[in-house]
Structure 1
């Protein structure tokens, strides 16, 4: 009787590990797991209890505005000056006076399609007074620059209006100047309207504290510490088993 051909036999490995072996190893080293899990979890809970809460402190400013919704200075230009000049100046001054870096950041932004400048700092309540002081310095500097730009624009408009007024008087003395006078008066009225439409710089909100904690929530820290404790406990339990096996093998030799 001819025996059916048999396929290649599957090699057997002595070092294959089954789920039963893993479970047995884990139970044997469960005390290591418990210790690591409890230590990591307790450290996370203690950290969550003592970590200081952080809040956002927001300052909001409205740029000086011309007619038709345009601005005396473009918001993008103001943001560039804040980021490149004014904020670094404040940081350098603090570093020179205290021999350390400023303990918070000053971040400037321009909400889309608006003439608003938003300055945000994130820190714990004990720094609120220092943050407000820095925000007010930026407000004063921006207010001064905006007032100067607005004053230049106002003087330019007033000069143009006065020039047109003189032109109109000269035209009134001539003949057949009706169309020219009408055009000059129309332009003068437009300039006067632009002058009346000028809106000054205004600080709307100064270093207002947010109502909610802006930092990592304590509950999230506790949950993450428990998860980290579980992973670290399992890993170190198997690592302890591996080290034990290596030691036994070396001792047997």
Structure 2
């Protein structure tokens, strides 16, 4: 009776045994490579941990716009509306016209129970920030002047005794006031991660070197046999 074809499992098992034998026979190649890579990883971590912190200077420019009053209790325009116009329209438009300020972070905000709108720009030191902030506040001030003129030329319930109450104009009370702060940053490394990667890489390179050494030995043996024959 014809025997069924032999399973290839035994061949695979023999090849795995041969591989294990090669690793055992060339274990010193594996050990030396593994130790060298791990020591190199540890040395690199020690070198990185000894670095001097880097000092960085951060610049901030602040402009304050005092919004005018129609009466002592009524602003010419609500602060949230002004801030929304600045952040959503005016700042992007002026930045588009002045490309050098695209790398700066500029934002408008307001303080409750006050008439102050604050424009803050963060970035590198730049003497042109004052001109940049003037371009941001100019549309607001010009519109408020037109509103004031309109109020002066009409009668409204806020007038007293048939005469308009004294109007306070909008104006810039602080323009691009520069402040700076220094922070220390260290380019730290994750020591544990580097060591784990060193162990994994050392193991992989150790296996590769073990098989490479066996390959070189067999090639040398083959050449010797051909020479003798």
1:20 alignment counterpart: none
When you count strand as a share of all residues, which structure comes out higher?
2
Q: Which runs of 5+ in 2 are unaligned?
A: 1-33, 216-229
2:70 alignment counterpart: 66
User: TM-score w.r.t. structure 1 length?
Assistant: 0.60
- Correspondence for 1:240 among 181, 186, 201: 201
- Contact 1:57 1:210 (8 Å CA) reproduced: yes
- Correspondence for 2:150 among 146, 149, 152: 152
Residues 156/242 of structure 1: CA separation in 2 closer, same or farther (3 Å cut): farther
**Is the aligned partner of 1:35 residue 2:33?**
no
Task: State the Cα distance separating 1:205 from its structure 2 match.
Answer: 0.7
Q: How does 1:206-221 map to 2 (within 5 A)?
A: 206-213=175-182, 217-218=183-184, 221=185
CA RMSD of aligned residues (A): 3.1
CA–CA separation in structure 2 for the residues paired with 1:29 and 1:63: 65
CA–CA separation in structure 2 for the residues paired with 1:188 and 1:146: 18
Task: State the Cα distance separating 1:249 from its structure 2 match.
Answer: 6.2
CA–CA separation in structure 2 for the residues paired with 1:248 and 1:204: 73
Residues 70/145 of structure 1: CA separation in 2 closer, same or farther (3 Å cut): same
2:132 alignment counterpart: 134
CA–CA separation in structure 2 for the residues paired with 1:147 and 1:30: 73
- Correspondence for 2:84 among 73, 76, 80: 80
Task: State the Cα distance separating 1:119 from its structure 2 match.
Answer: 0.4
Q: Secondary structure at the match of 2:104?
A: coil
Task: State the Cα distance separating 1:246 from its structure 2 match.
Answer: 3.4
CA–CA separation in structure 2 for the residues paired with 1:79 and 1:195: 26
When you count helix as a share of all residues, which structure comes out higher?
1
CA–CA separation in structure 1 for the residues paired with 2:86 and 2:102: 16
User: TM-score w.r.t. structure 2 length?
Assistant: 0.66
Aligned length: 181
Moved over 6 A (4+): 25-28
